[in-house]
Structure 1
Amino acid sequence: MRGAAGGLLRRALLREPRVIVRLAAWSVAEVVPAFAAGHAVARAIDEGFAAGRPVTGLAWLGVLAAGWLVAAVAARQILLGIAAVVEPFRDDLLTHVVSRAVSGLGAGPVVDSGAGSGVLGGGDTSAVARMNHQVELARDALAAIITVVRSFVFTLAGVALGMATLAPAVLPLVLTPVLLGLVSFLASLPALARRQRGFIVADEHVSASVAAMAEGLRDVVACGAEPRVAAAVGRDVAAQARAARALARVTAARTLALALGGWLPILLLLGATPWLLGRGVTAGVVLGSLTYVMQSLTPALAGLVQGLGVSGVRLAVTLDRILGGAVPYEVAGPRRPPEGAGLELRGVAFAYGPAAEPVIDGLDLVVPEGEHLAVVGPSGIGKSTLAGLVAGVLRPSEGAVTIGGVPAAEAEERSRALIPQEAYVFRAVLVDNLTYLAPDATEAEVDEAVAVFGLAGVAERYGSHTVIDPAELSAGERQLIALARTYLSPARLVVLDEATCHLDPAAEARAEAAFAARGGTLIVVAHRISSAARARRVLVMDGSRVRLGTHEELTAASPLYADLVGHWAGRQPLSAGPVAQDADLPRRPQPA
């Protein structure tokens, strides 16, 4: 591993040198049985049972039992030492994931939302999965690797020392195939890592597609999209199955390495027994050598092959996923800065499913840069769908939506902002909430936003150091913070999708006037008809029909708009103060 992954691992292993020293010391104690086993068995046979002295034989076996007691005590200390290494490693990974997720949130289309991130559609949308699952995988994998590598190295050293002092002639018969098996296994690790990574990516795709299907199952059935969705999920499942088969084929290399390094030494020892006996090696020594191989070396090699083949590859792949970023489920094209904030829709249609009636059908609309456009219509008519298309959050099923000549979904994320009705406030100080999308904003700019959006009371209540609890704020205060946050952002196209519905008319008017004076293009999905009266032009949505014009033109030419104006004005003058709930735009009649 190289780069950031290697740095994290080195820091984990070298952070506390005393821990590593203690771990090595206890590892020496743990392999006492590996060193003593062959000697104890050989002497128990040759000097004890075969010589007619069973007490001596039992005494030597007692020495081996004492060695196991020492190993048991050492095993507990080794677990504590490994935990002292891997837990700080886990903390480092979590710090990296959280930092990357938070800093990356502003990278996507700016959507101030209540879904927990504050910015949806962009940033690192897989951060939660990595935090909850992949970090734990990496921690467990590192612990397993330390365990098996340490065990194999010290066991191999103990066995080699034991054999060298017991019967040097057997060393080549044992160590040569062990080293060959180890080399063949290590050579297969890069291919194993590639296949394991492919399997993890395929598994993530299946999880994402199944989750999306389950979340929208009612809509899928309602729209008659079962065959299409089933085919899409089936493709991901088939890809995962292919990745699993490819991984299984490469995994067979582990079996070959284990056979070569773990079982071939036993065959060589048995085959060479006559030759060894002819050179003065006793039967007890031969049996002791077999004990070294079968009871210590082969299990240690099997643990190494299994541990590195699974945990080692998993650690490499998981660190690559965490530090390098996840392969996106749907790879988006490169982001391009738009040439201005002008908006254009040509032949745009959108439906929530292939069998569903289009919410928007054949819409043509040109919004020049600097325009202040209000969108009105009964609830459920498609105003929020239009806002999503304009912001690039939704893609049209037909036609094109461009911002400054660039497709909305491909335009640079910082160029546009969408604020929906439910605004999100971070559990942080006020200034951090306001500068989240504009980290370089000056103190004077922040003070201006506080004054413009009437946040002085919130600023006095919390000061500059008190963390805001969003639950303590009113819905209107949360909307004001979201509006001020976007006001400070670099977005030149701002879409307010009923983003002022919890404000009184005076505060709503101030907010819209601030964005209009700020420059750029402003689109307001109107909650009250007064928002339309303030806009330069108004788009009236009435099913598949739309009308575009000024407030005065539409009052005279559009029966629906005139009805909306009359409905509102009959209850509250346009310039009045707080408005009752029934003074808001009427709801669209719902089918029985």
Structure 2
Amino acid sequence: MASETVRLVRPVLRAHRRNLGVLAAWSLVETLPVLLSGTLVAAALDRGFLAGRAPYGLVLLLAYGVTMVIGTLGTRQAMPHAAAIVESFRDTLISRVVHAGLHRAVYPASGAGYSGGATADVSTVARLTRQVETVRQISGGLLLSLRGVALAMGAAVIGLFALDPLLALITGGAVVIAVVLTALLSRVLRRRHVALLRAQEELAGRAGPQLTGIRDVVTCGAWETAGRTVGGGVDAEAAAAVASARAGAGRIAVVAVGTRLPFAIILLSSSWLVSSAVLTPGALVGAMFYLLQGIEPALRAMVQTVSNMGLQLSVTLRRLSDFIDVPPRPPSGTGSFPGAGAGAGTGTGTCTGTDIALRDVHFAYGPHAEPLFSRISLDIPDGSHLAIVGPSGIGKSTLACLAGGLEQARSGEVTIGGIPVAELAEEELRRRVALVPQESYVFAGTLRENLALLRPDVPESELDAAAVALGLAETVRRLGGYDAVIGSPGLLSQGERQLITLARVYVSEARVVILDEATCHLDRVGEERVEDAFIARPGTLIVVAHRITSALRAERIGVVGQDSLTVGSHDELLGMSAEYAELIGYWSFAGESVEPTAIPRPLI
């Protein structure tokens, strides 16, 4: 099997040694009928029916039936252990595919070696996960078939040896030749299968432009040229298909060499074997039984099912291997986050020098897409509180992520503390900038594990302070404390899940916090409480606001328009931003008060 298959499978097999041992033991039980079949049939004939002892012969045949029942039990007991290995292999592949997809999405340049393109979009990952399911099905069938083939052949040869060593030698030699021929044929089949796939891709590449430009072909009368272009691809694909089919036909010869040749030898020499007392009539029938009921089905499975599955598995795994073997991620900047290590979470240390600046930033979702922002600039002083407002879909979240270094500008510059984001150490940037999205994430585990995800060593006193500040204390009491297990996060309300996610960031080391409609499942009182807590927390706060009351709590408000950004206080914006006035009118019509309330200012 291909080296990439072995490389991917070896860690899984190493981790499941016990399952492999138990699987092997039950597989031996499963082959008991093959091992004893010929011997019991021979004894039933020689010592039973031919000796005039029909009841004894029937007892031996009944014993053969019992071995078949035992073999079926072995198959049943082997299945769970085979499934454990296959499912673990599938989980490993899924994990590596998703990891590689995320790697290629975050580090697009590192995926340049992948034949599917420089980056991995959602459709690529989805297609590859479907291929992983194919691998799971094939590997499961291959594991079961391979062990059945190997053990059945071995059991049949051992049974033949018990009847007559000469027969075992003849049959064993033929089987060895068949296995060697199968290995050689598999290499040919693989090459021709790959050639067929390439011919099909070449045909698709030739036919696509012709079909797309069919009107031009008709207009120019270029039927013959188009026909020759596509016809060459059709001829090449047909030739590759015929070559692959011819190679596949070689499997018939392998079966003939492995089973029909020794069968013919034994059948032609049967008269001499019996007359010279080399074999008894029962032993002769038993030998035929081993050949036709043991070796031939196993050999057919090997050259047809196993080789087909092995070929498909090898090709599919090569495709997956090309994707998941991503190169080391490109080195990130080595600069330290300004003020890193000065203080964390709700500690008392001060952190200075994290002014955020956007200069002539241009951003679009693709090289040919319409720009969302073009040459916009924005200053966010350290420790300030900025609310971003605007119509739905205008780019508020994108602007917030650009400011936090979580999105990369196509051109222009984003700096934190005067250092370009691209030059900052990525780990430090991800640790010091936290985004809380609208969709909250709570995983199965203890409440403490959920809250301490971003800062595992957070003291319980800070968890208590966060719970009180954010309004999470009642949920903590209801669940039974921080060590209570959240077995099913879906049983929590959306508001509770949102508060847990917010508290996780509140106690983290993040110096810049972005709340992207992160309080949408809280009522106005809960939203005000959360935002007041983050305002009082040391650091910079950026809020993507969906309520006017949220915007009014900010020192400054950024209004995102169509390729525009206007920043100012509430009163300033009413006089200079038509977009803001229109938005205020919409919010007022929806019943929200536009009167600012007294709020605590940031404690820096």
Q: TM-score range by the shorter chain?
A: 0.5 to 0.7
Matched, 1:523 2:550: no
Matched, 1:381 2:394: yes
Residues of 1 paired with 2:41 and 2:62: CA distance?
A: 11
Q: Show structure 1 runs of 5+ residues with no match.
A: 111-120, 201-241, 578-592
Matched, 1:482 2:501: yes
Residue aligned with 1:438, SS: coil
Q: Quickly say closer, same or farther: Cα 1:134–1:363, change in 2 above 3 A.
A: farther
Q: Quickly say closer, same or farther: Cα 1:197–1:370, change in 2 above 3 A.
A: farther
Equivalence for 2:364: 350
Q: How much does 1:447 deviate? A: 2.2
Matched, 1:460 2:477: yes
Q: What are the equivalent positions in structure 2 for 1:10-409 lying under 5 Å apart?
A: 10-14=17-21, 16=22, 21=25, 23-25=27-29, 27-35=31-39, 66=62, 68-83=64-79, 85-89=81-85, 139=140, 141-164=142-165, 168=166, 170-185=167-182, 256=250, 259-260=253-254, 262-263=256-257, 266-267=260-261, 270=264, 292-306=290-304, 308-309=306-307, 327=323, 334=330, 336=332, 339=335, 340=337, 342=356, 344=358, 346-350=360-364, 358-365=371-378, 367=380, 372-387=385-400, 398-399=410-411, 402=414, 405-406=420-421
Matched, 1:449 2:481: no
Residues of 1 paired with 2:302 and 2:363: CA distance?
A: 59
Confirm or deny: 8 A CA contact 1:375 1:525 kept in the other structure: yes
Residues of 1 paired with 2:537 and 2:155: CA distance?
A: 70
Q: How much does 1:575 deviate? A: 0.7
Q: How much does 1:102 deviate? A: 12
Q: Quickly say closer, same or farther: Cα 1:446–1:437, change in 2 above 3 A.
A: same
Confirm or deny: 8 A CA contact 2:361 2:411 kept in the other structure: yes
Which region of structure 1 is more displaced relative to structure 2, 459-468 or 254-263? 254-263
For 2:467, the aligned partner's letter is V
Equivalence for 2:220: none
Confirm or deny: 8 A CA contact 1:40 1:64 kept in the other structure: yes
For each residue in 1:521-578, what CA deviation from the matched residue of structure 2 results, as whole angstroms up to 9, or x when unmatched? 432112234444444543211223222345554344334335556776893421179x
Residues of 2 paired with 1:104 and 1:435: CA distance?
A: 27
For 1:5, the aligned partner's letter is V
For 1:12, the aligned partner's letter is N
Matched, 1:511 2:505: no
Q: Show structure 2 runs of 5+ residues with no match.
A: 1-5, 107-120, 198-235, 338-353, 600-604
Residues of 2 paired with 1:467 and 1:476: CA distance?
A: 15
**Residue of structure 2 aligned with 1:5, choices 9, 12, 21:** 12
Confirm or deny: 8 A CA contact 1:384 1:497 kept in the other structure: yes
Residues of 1 paired with 2:569 and 2:129: CA distance?
A: 46
Residue aligned with 1:374, SS: strand
Count how many residue pairs are aligned between Structure 1 and Structure 2: 504
Equivalence for 2:577: 558
Work out the percentage of aligned pairs sharing the same amino acid.
Answer: 30
Matched, 1:421 2:421: no
Residues of 1 paired with 2:194 and 2:412: CA distance?
A: 37
Equivalence for 2:595: 573
Confirm or deny: 8 A CA contact 1:109 1:391 kept in the other structure: no
Q: Quickly say closer, same or farther: Cα 1:36–1:442, change in 2 above 3 A.
A: same
For 1:439, the aligned partner's letter is P
Residue aligned with 2:435, SS: strand
Q: How much does 1:179 deviate? A: 0.9
Confirm or deny: 8 A CA contact 1:349 1:363 kept in the other structure: no
Confirm or deny: 8 A CA contact 2:12 2:88 kept in the other structure: no
Residues of 2 paired with 1:462 and 1:189: CA distance?
A: 60
**C-alpha root-mean-square deviation of aligned residues, in Å?**
5.7
TM-score of the superposition, structure 2-length normalised? 0.63
Confirm or deny: 8 A CA contact 2:189 2:247 kept in the other structure: no
Residue aligned with 2:394, SS: coil
Equivalence for 1:588: none
Residues of 2 paired with 1:357 and 1:97: CA distance?
A: 37
Q: Quickly say closer, same or farther: Cα 1:439–1:248, change in 2 above 3 A.
A: farther
For 1:382, the aligned partner's letter is G
Q: How much does 1:162 deviate? A: 2.8
Q: How much does 1:145 deviate? A: 3.6
Confirm or deny: 8 A CA contact 2:549 2:594 kept in the other structure: no
For 1:399, the aligned partner's letter is S
Q: Quickly say closer, same or farther: Cα 1:365–1:488, change in 2 above 3 A.
A: same
Residues of 2 paired with 1:282 and 1:475: CA distance?
A: 80
Q: Quickly say closer, same or farther: Cα 1:534–1:258, change in 2 above 3 A.
A: same
